[in-house]
Structure 1
Amino acid sequence: MKILINDEAYTVTAGTLAALVAELGFSDARIATAINGEFVPGPAREHHILVEGMRVEIVAPMQGG
């Protein structure tokens, strides 16, 4: 299926947001996720089904000072 991840087109096999995070190699990373502009907390990722054309954002928190 084709989706946008951080504004870039990808073809993925994952069916859920949790599976997508794993497919991209972020399973153990501290990240924030959103689907179509709506924040999705970590525990809810397995319940979010992906469909063709979705916009997914995956970002890592930054530290600064």
Structure 2
Amino acid sequence: MRLIVNGREKEFRDGLTVDALITEEGEPVGHVLVEVNGEYVPTRLQKGRVLAEGDRVETILPAFGG
């Protein structure tokens, strides 16, 4: 299936969840803010949120420090 991830169209397997996408993209699961089709997906819901063809996913890795 095709998804738009951070503005780039990419091909992924069907049935992919948000947390699996984060892992495939090399980001740390649980530390990334995720938005699907303009809607925030809380960390606790990322494992069960299945993505669909054409979904637009934006990920943000917050900067920590002082």
Normalising by the residue count of structure 2, what TM-score does the alignment of the two structures yield?
Answer: 0.82
Q: Can you give the 5+ residue segments of structure 1 that lack an aligned partner in the other structure?
A: none
> What's the CA shift string for 1:8-45, capped at 9, x where partnerless?
10111261111111111113572100100111111110
Q: Which residue of 1 is the match for residue 5 of structure 2?
A: 5
- Percent of pairs with identical residues: 32
Q: Which residue of 1 is the match for residue 44 of structure 2?
A: 43
Go from structure 1 to structure 2 and tell me whether the alpha carbon gap of 1:16 and 1:28 turns closer, same or farther (over 3 Å shift).
closer
Q: Can you give the 5+ residue segments of structure 2 that lack an aligned partner in the other structure?
A: none
Alignment of 1:31 with 2:32, yes or no, is: yes
